[in-house]
Amino acid sequence: MDGAGGGRRAYIGSYTSAGGRGITTAAVDPDTGALTVLHHTDAVPDPSYLVPGPGGGMLYAVSETEDGRAAALSLADPDRPSPAGAPVSVEGSGPAHLTCAAGQLITANYTSGSVSSLPLRPDGTLGAQPAVLPHTGSGPVGGRQDGPHAHAVVADASWRWLLAVDLGADSVWVYRLDHAAAVLRPHGRTPLRPGSGPRHLAFHPRGDRAYVVNELVSTVVCCRWDRASGTLEPAGEVGTLPAGSGAEGENHPSELVVSADGRWAWAANRGHDSIAVLALEPYGEGMELVTTVPCGGHWPRDLALDPAGRRLYAANERSGDVTWFDLDPDTGVPHRAGSIQAPAATCVVLG
């Protein structure tokens, strides 16, 4: 996403209810990756997760509130996102993640344990009648898994399938993307280890593996993904903390991203306040925790890779900053390069 003055832009979501500024626009230095704040808008309450629209002309946000909503913002001026119509109800509570796929804006509604899809109009604005697909089930962890809690929605590279990760039900739901009708169709469900609390998912660039980060047990599980049949099968699993760290019960991993060459994955550790560096087997399910490095703040809620794969950005919610790192191409290890203040930061989207 290029700004009016040239160069890339980053958009940072935050909790307005916790002192955040809503959606912050920052310029991205093309040489260093450094961020410079340009603008804030609080037009959307608690915009905890953002996603750019197809073609880059829109930015979409969840409003992670009890009466959950989604909002479209025009990027006609990329420096100043502006509302494109009123926020629309997702008919679910606490939407925490969203994606665009098959002519729909799809949200994962954490509190109500459901997935909602809103039609996208030709001009990128939101239709007003969501289709809601409720999840079912629970897990053994009291207070966290008393019912379903959908936490992420991710389309695969074939754009035939959508995977919805549910922390409360220890499961990943698979939906078929019906492009002609612009709807989701339930397809299957993959149970994961009881009590693991799956939170987010990222695909290997080759498309035959998916990596799921588990919030309640501080692990990443590698799954085989068959995009012909739309089936997911758990395989290897590795921890996100070094042995003997003593932080297992106080740590809650959040986001995971995979390098474009498929050699590395990085997971954010909230509590341990670190970024785990994982080496991935190129054609197998094996993973190895190489090291962890400090995240540059407290409670890293989100990670983002720049398009060139040279830098990693961490949104540190409780310390109120976004920190960026240079990535060593030979070891995958991030090296802190700078940060900006971003109160209650929850996500970073990079053009």
45 band by pLDDT with thresholds 50, 70 and 90: very high
pLDDT at 351: 75
Is the per-residue pLDDT at 202 higher than 90?
Answer: yes
- Nearest of 26, 65, 33 to residue 49 by alpha carbon: 65
pLDDT at 289: 98
Is the per-residue pLDDT at 4 higher than 60?
Answer: no
The answer to whether 61 and 82 are in contact (CB under 8 A) is: no
Other C-beta atoms lying within 10 Å of the C-beta of residue 22: 20
pLDDT at 161: 98
3-state secondary structure of 250: helix
* Encoded tokens for 255: 């986001």
Q: Position of tokens 């679910």?
A: 92
pLDDT at 252: 97
Q: Position of tokens 């880059």?
A: 56
Q: Which residues contact 180 (CB under 8 A, 6 or more apart)?
A: none
Is the per-residue pLDDT at 1 higher than 90?
Answer: no
Give the dihedral sign, CA 296/301/306/310. positive
Distance between CA atoms of 277 and 291, rounded to whole angstroms?
5
245 band by pLDDT with thresholds 50, 70 and 90: confident
* Encoded tokens for 19: 């002192």
Distance between CA atoms of 40 and 22, rounded to whole angstroms?
7
Is the per-residue pLDDT at 255 higher than 90?
Answer: yes
* Encoded tokens for 306: 């720049």
pLDDT at 33: 97
Is the per-residue pLDDT at 340 higher than 60?
Answer: yes
Average pLDDT over residues 53-71: 96
Distance between CA atoms of 29 and 51, rounded to whole angstroms?
21
Distance between CA atoms of 190 and 212, rounded to whole angstroms?
12
**What mean pLDDT value characterizes the chain?**
96
- Greatest extent of the chain over all pairs of C-alpha atoms, in Å: 54
The answer to whether 94 and 167 are in contact (CB under 8 A) is: no
Average pLDDT over residues 272-294: 95
The share of the chain scoring above pLDDT 70, in percent, equals 99
Q: Position of tokens 């939101």?
A: 126
- Nearest of 258, 162, 167, 136 to residue 209 by alpha carbon: 258
At 204-222, the pLDDT tens digits run 999 999 999 999 999 999 9
pTM of the model: 0.96
- Residue 137, φ and ψ in degrees, nearest 5: 110, 175
pLDDT at 169: 98
